[in-house]
Amino acid sequence: MTTDTASESAGDKIRCDACPVMCYIKPGAAGACDRYANQDGVLVRVDPHILLERTVSHGGRLVPFQASGDWDGKIVQQPDLFVTAIGAGTTYPDYKPAPFIVSSEVDGVDMVTVVTEGIFSYCGVKVKIDTDRFLGPETATVRVDGEAVGHVTTSEYGSQMLSLGGVHHLTGGSKKEGRVTCDALMDLSNRKPVELVIDGGATVVVQAGAPPIVNGVKEERMRVGCGSATIGMFAKQWQGKVDEVVVVDDHITGVLSEHQAGKLLDIPATGIKMKGRRSTPGRYFQVAQPGTGWGGTDISDPLAILGPFDPKTARPGTTILMVSTTGEHAGYYVLDEALRPVEQDMPPDLKFSVERIQENCEPALCTVLFMAGAGGSLRAGVTDNPVRLTRSVKDALTRVTSGGAPVYVWPGGGITFMVDVTQMPAGAFGYVPTPAIVAPIEFTLRLSDYAALGGHMDYVQPLGSLKDVSKDIRQLPWPVRSAG
């Protein structure tokens, strides 16, 4: 589509000012970002401008919510057609109004949506990887093609978190580091697989909405809980079927007979002795080193975490189930006359309990949240007094979206937002070789509020006029939101 981005000619080339690189583009070629091209002497936007249309599964329109009549299931009324910033263009060099400031009417209220593709140097992704396997020590450097692109952060409940990108990796290191970081961020945000190598840890392939692949092995399940929680959830199902259960976990290993759940069920002591550091009854820390084995530890033989059984309490014939937090690993043992656990075939009812653990494990997935700060230059495309936009967002007068997807705006100063990339249309992200990520951002508010915050009222255009301005418009169905 044609664009309002300014350009100047140098011979048969056109100079594009959509970003600080200021490419000279020859006829029939695209700029360094692959987003703008020289088409017969006219600077055009290569990608189509995306509009999202709300439709039901059979292709019909959603019925607008009315005060009377049947409820259609929506909490608040929203427009059937939403103008995203994907393919809209940028405000660079910043003083220009946003590419599209579109007015529409919703339930008799005049609304306006301001759309622009932000050029973000201050951006990154937060990655949640559902796995018990050890990926690397906290703060370890994460690399792509040998270049540092981020670091490992905290372990959460059944997941490992990574923080990738940020201005220091994009602009504070070598030129190659910035380029590799930019490519990795764009691919991750566009839901493509990226191989990450963690110093002192694993190689993991991350793709938003797909299972992680750790050291070449696809992760199947996210753990049902820590070892202690697993004991609490399934203790009653083990009662009368096995004397002792150990749920192996890198963080908190659970022991049935010592756990409060076992005590309340009157399960007798078995004389078991655990390695590691005892926390509260039936809960043990550091039974082994982190790894990719049983329960996220480095062990392949679960008996390695057991000490000698107490001869004053233990008795031959005691049965023991050892299982990991995902049910991926499990073994059944019986104490012999010397009080040594000997592996035996697992009884069917215990096999069923292991399968029940597996059933309660959700599928392991990778989650990618794009995170960026909308700075003063981007806000100037919305209003001539940028701080008013920030205040309007904080006062909930202005709704922020990214590619039509809802965002979380952090408290505090500025407009720092996060968005789940799987909730956005495919290919929503681009780049400029400064390097920086280009991401869509939309601001929706009442037309009267827009005027009050000093909006660019002379550039407001009705929704129906887009077809006269954007020659390449693509209407897509609104992405289906996940249940979570």
The residue from 222, 248, 268 where one domain ends is: 222
Please indicate, yes or no, whether residues 263 and 342 belong to a single structural domain of this protein: yes
Please indicate, yes or no, whether residues 350 and 319 belong to a single structural domain of this protein: yes
Q: Listing from the earlier edge strand, what are the strands of the sheet with 141-144?
A: 217-218, 213-214, 203-206, 194-198, 141-144, 147-156, 159-165, 123-130, 366-374, 415-420, 408-409
Range of the domain at 152: 123-222
Could you give the CA distance from residue 6 to residue 231 in angstroms, rounded to a whole number?
65
End-to-end CA distance of the chain: 36
Write down how long the chain is: 484
Q: Tens-of-pLDDT digits for all 484 residues of the chain?
A: 445 555 555 568 888 877 777 888 888 888 888 778 888 888 777 778 888 876 544 343 433 333 344 444 443 444 578 888 888 887 776 668 888 899 988 777 889 999 988 899 999 999 999 998 999 999 999 999 999 999 999 999 889 999 999 999 999 999 999 999 999 999 999 999 999 999 999 999 999 999 999 999 999 999 999 999 999 999 999 999 999 999 999 999 999 999 999 999 999 999 999 999 999 999 999 999 999 999 999 999 999 999 999 999 999 999 999 999 999 999 999 999 999 999 999 999 999 999 999 999 999 999 999 999 987 678 888 998 899 999 999 999 999 999 999 999 999 989 999 999 999 998 999 999 889 999 999 999 999 999 999 999 999 998 877 766 655 677 777 776 554 4
Provide the greatest CA pair distance for the chain.
Answer: 95
The letter for the amino acid at 314 is A
Please indicate, yes or no, whether residues 441 and 353 belong to a single structural domain of this protein: no
Q: What pLDDT is attached to residue 79? A: 57
Q: What pLDDT is attached to residue 40? A: 80
Please indicate, yes or no, whether residues 392 and 324 belong to a single structural domain of this protein: no
Does the residue 1 lie in any domain?
A: no
Does the residue 19 lie in any domain?
A: no
Q: What pLDDT is attached to residue 304? A: 96
Please indicate, yes or no, whether residues 127 and 169 belong to a single structural domain of this protein: yes
Does the residue 9 lie in any domain?
A: no
Residue 19 and residue 434 in contact, taking contact as beta carbons nearer than 8 Å: yes
Does the residue 343 lie in any domain?
A: yes
Domain count across the chain: 3
Does the residue 419 lie in any domain?
A: yes
Residue 177 and residue 409 in contact, taking contact as beta carbons nearer than 8 Å: no
The pTM assigned to this predicted structure is 0.84
Partners of residue 14 on adjacent β-strands: 9, 25
Residue 413 and residue 77 in contact, taking contact as beta carbons nearer than 8 Å: no
Please indicate, yes or no, whether residues 247 and 128 belong to a single structural domain of this protein: no
Does the residue 281 lie in any domain?
A: yes
Please indicate, yes or no, whether residues 64 and 179 belong to a single structural domain of this protein: no
Residue 246 and residue 309 in contact, taking contact as beta carbons nearer than 8 Å: no
Please indicate, yes or no, whether residues 105 and 138 belong to a single structural domain of this protein: no
Could you give the CA distance from residue 379 to residue 126 in angstroms, rounded to a whole number?
24
Cis-peptide into 435, omega within 30 deg? yes
| Cβ-proximal residues to 479 (8 Å cutoff; 6+ apart), any chain | 52, 404, 405, 422, 423, 424, 425
Could you give the CA distance from residue 481 to residue 355 in angstroms, rounded to a whole number?
30
Please indicate, yes or no, whether residues 238 and 354 belong to a single structural domain of this protein: yes
The residue from 222, 254, 269 where one domain ends is: 222
187-193, long-range: CB within 8 Å, 24+ apart, which pairs? 188/125, 188/127, 188/164, 188/368, 188/421, 189/125, 189/368, 189/370, 189/421, 189/428, 189/429, 189/437, 189/439, 190/421, 190/426, 190/427, 190/428, 190/429, 191/368, 191/421, 191/422, 191/426
The residue from 222, 257, 291 where one domain ends is: 222
Please indicate, yes or no, whether residues 300 and 270 belong to a single structural domain of this protein: yes
Based on its alpha-carbon atoms, the radius of gyration of the chain, rounded to whole angstroms, reads 28
Q: What pLDDT is attached to residue 226? A: 93
Q: What pLDDT is attached to residue 73? A: 45
Please indicate, yes or no, whether residues 237 and 355 belong to a single structural domain of this protein: yes
Angstrom CA distances, 221 to 59, 125, 315, 316, stand at 35, 23, 36, 35
Please indicate, yes or no, whether residues 201 and 233 belong to a single structural domain of this protein: no
